[in-house]
Structure 1
Amino acid sequence: MKSPVLILTALLAANLHLSAQAQTVQDLNIRSLAATCANCHGTNGKAQDGSAVVSLAGMPKDYIVAQMAAFKNGTRSATVMHQLAKGYSDAQIEQIAGYFAAQKK
């Protein structure tokens, strides 16, 4: 018969592994959402020097959320961003904005 301490230790280790794994899945999901912006805004939100498109990396989260809301509701004009913004939920926009705000400029 196994010791209750060994069983408890194994259960705690399994729980920690699942928690870490769940965090990784969420992080990967957010990174994949942010990656959809790379075609125009560059990898990790860093646009090429001289580009007419702004870099998103390091912008304040609240600013990005506000701009996406303006694109989504049509109060800010754009070529394609108003269409793209409508494809994201408000929660996804918050996640994307948080991701880019955390990137170095």
Structure 2
Amino acid sequence: MNVRQILPFLLLAVAPALAQTSDPAVLAGACQGCHGVAGQGSHGIPLIKDAHSRAEFVALLQAFRANQREATVMGRIARGYTDEQIALLAAHYARAQ
């Protein structure tokens, strides 16, 4: 079994623990496993750093959380975050305005 196959399941296992914090750097740790340390994406996984405005980033994660956007694991991961934590992630990853 390759790492890319088990990584989503590992992230799901740690998501509840990460969701208990309000430190954006810690919250972003769950994103880094797939999207890269700098949010650069790779191998079909999208870029998230500077790719969206804060409002777009929030709307995107809320859509994943509500199963309004098709995804492999993002819906399950996004359901682990509060609105406040999504806003913190948006501030961390969104492009400067």
Fold shared per TM-score above 0.5: yes
Pair 1:30-2:27 in alignment: no
Pair 1:74-2:67 in alignment: yes
Pair 1:45-2:26 in alignment: no
2:46 aligned to which of 39, 44, 54: 54
Q: Which structure is higher in helix share?
A: 1
**Partner Cα distance (1:102, 1:77) in 2:** 23
* Runs of at least 4 residues off by over 4 Å: none
Which fold has the larger relative contact order, with Cα–Cα distance below 8 Å and residues 6 or more apart in sequence? 2
Aligned residues: 74
Segments of 5+ residues of structure 2 without an aligned counterpart are: 1-21
Segments of 5+ residues of structure 1 without an aligned counterpart are: 1-27
The one-character-per-residue Cα deviations of 1:14-57 (angstroms, maximum 9, x if unpaired) are xxxxxxxxxxxxxx911110121001111121123xx2111111
Shift of 1:92: 0.1
**Partner Cα distance (2:25, 2:38) in 1:** 9
Normalised to the residue count of structure 2, the TM-score between the two structures is 0.70
Larger gyration radius, structure 1 or structure 2: 1
Normalised to the residue count of structure 1, the TM-score between the two structures is 0.65
